[in-house]
Amino acid sequence: MPSDLGNILPPIPIRLLTLSDFFSNLIGIAYTFIALIFLFMLLLSSWQWITSGANKETVAQARARIVNAIIGLAILGMASFIYNVIARIVRFPEQ
């Protein structure tokens, strides 16, 4: 029966999160946060390298920070792979 407000649909039922949903969401948020940290470190190191004025110490610090950021990104990728393998074994929803 239409009313003055039009057709009003009932609210979508709230679904409780399972433990696997909770961990999937938590890991997705952590991956996003870590990726943002990587991006910040990469931009900061690039800026430090550009503005170093050919100072060898500053260039070495920037290069070391870039290498560390790339190593961190590789660790994040490996962690994602390991998580997906475990998720398939215990049937967690994949990210």
What does the pLDDT read at residue 4? 63
DSSP-derived letter for residue 84 is: H
Q: Where are the domains of the chain?
A: 39-95
Name which residue leads in pLDDT, 30 or 8.
Answer: 30
3-state secondary structure of 3: strand
- Residue-averaged pLDDT of the chain: 84
Q: How far apart are CA 58 and CA 50, in angstroms?
A: 10
Name which residue leads in pLDDT, 92 or 70.
Answer: 70
Burial label, 48 (beta-carbon count in 10 A; 0-12, 13-18, 19+): middle
DSSP-derived letter for residue 29 is: H
DSSP-derived letter for residue 79 is: H
Q: How far apart are CA 94 and CA 21, in angstroms?
A: 10
pLDDT in tens, 49-81: 999 988 999 999 999 999 999 999 999 899 889
